[in-house]
């Protein structure tokens, strides 16, 4: 995980810094998300995309209700598109369109068309929902991948899986960006 660089437009940098600063998120404590994520897991095991879509929609509706946000749409698609850049190719896992409040997630890997692992899929869903939160709850002009953004998404993911949250440690890299220090994060300090 690598953060975005700080925006060049100075009118956006206050929002960027605030996004970076907000490292926690109120989380539903009633176990409802965990129940839904378990039905999502069995839907993924069955491979039936209509069931996966239904569970995703339920997950997003429950989350939007908790944060008092308008509902976002969901589209569950099959094989991931490949994003080709000059020197590397990456698979697209999901995206969020702020104008239409639509989340798209891909269920299968690009080349071998295998079903994505449940952990990756749920983490993508939480990541895209956090973009919805950025626009609708925090009212940022953009939804940057800051350290705060990744930490909020990780907290939601742990809540949805019923696993204890892990403190993330960061290392500075070029251009004012940050990446996760995995050895330290996994050691817990
Ligand atoms: Zn993103």
Distance 144 CA to ligand 1 centre (A): 7
91 has which bridge partners?
A: 82
Distance 50 CA to ligand 1 centre (A): 24
The more confident residue out of 88 and 161 is 161
Which among 116, 57, 71 has a CA at the least distance from the CA of 92? 116
Given this model, what pLDDT does residue 85 score? 63
Given this model, what pLDDT does residue 121 score? 94
The more confident residue out of 117 and 113 is 117
Distance 128 CA to ligand 1 centre (A): 6
The least confident of 3-17, 79-93, 167-181 is 79-93
- Average pLDDT score over residue span 131-144: 95
Using one digit for the tens of pLDDT, what is the confidence trace for 36-93? 999 999 999 998 989 999 999 999 999 999 999 999 999 999 877 777 665 566 667 8
Q: Which backbone phi and psi does 65 adopt, to 5 degrees? A: -65, -45
Given this model, what pLDDT does residue 114 score? 85
Single pTM value for the model: 0.92
Distance 129 CA to ligand 1 centre (A): 9
Euclidean distance between CA atoms 122 and 105, whole angstroms: 10
The least confident of 41-55, 106-120, 160-174 is 106-120
Give the chain as a 3 state SS string.
CECCCCCCCHHHHHHHHHHHHCCCCCCCCCCHHHHHHHHHHHHHHHCCHHHHHHHHHHHHHHHHHHHCCCCCEEEEEEECCEEECCCCEEECCEEEECCCCEEEEEEECCCCCCECCHHHHHHHHHHHHHHHHHHHCCCCCCCCCCHHHHHHHHHHHHHHHCCCCCCCCEEECHHHCEEECHHHHHHCC
Distance 41 CA to ligand 1 centre (A): 22
């Amino acid at each position: 995980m690598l953060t975005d660089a700080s925006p060049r437009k100075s009118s956006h940098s206050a929002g960027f810094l605030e996004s970076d600063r907000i490292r926690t998120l109120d989380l539903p404590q009633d176990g409802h998300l965990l129940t839904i994520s378990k039905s999502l897991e069995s839907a993924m095991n069955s491979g039936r995309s209509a069931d996966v879509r239904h569970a995703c929609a339920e997950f997003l509706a429950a989350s939007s209700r908790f944060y008092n946000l308008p509902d976002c749409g969901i589209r569950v698609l099959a094989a991931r598109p490949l994003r080709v850049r000059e020197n590397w190719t990456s698979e697209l896992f999901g995206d969020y369109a702020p104008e239409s409040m639509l989340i798209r997630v891909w269920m299968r890997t690009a080349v071998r068309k295998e079903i994505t692992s449940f952990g990756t899929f749920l983490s993508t869903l939480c990541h895209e929902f956090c973009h919805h939160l950025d626009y609708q709850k925090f009212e940022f002009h953009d939804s940057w991948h800051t350290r705060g953004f990744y930490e909020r998404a990780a907290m939601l993911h742990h809540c949805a899986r019923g696993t204890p949250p892990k403190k993330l440690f960061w290392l500075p890299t070029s251009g004012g960006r940050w990446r996760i220090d995995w050895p330290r994060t996994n050691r817990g300090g």
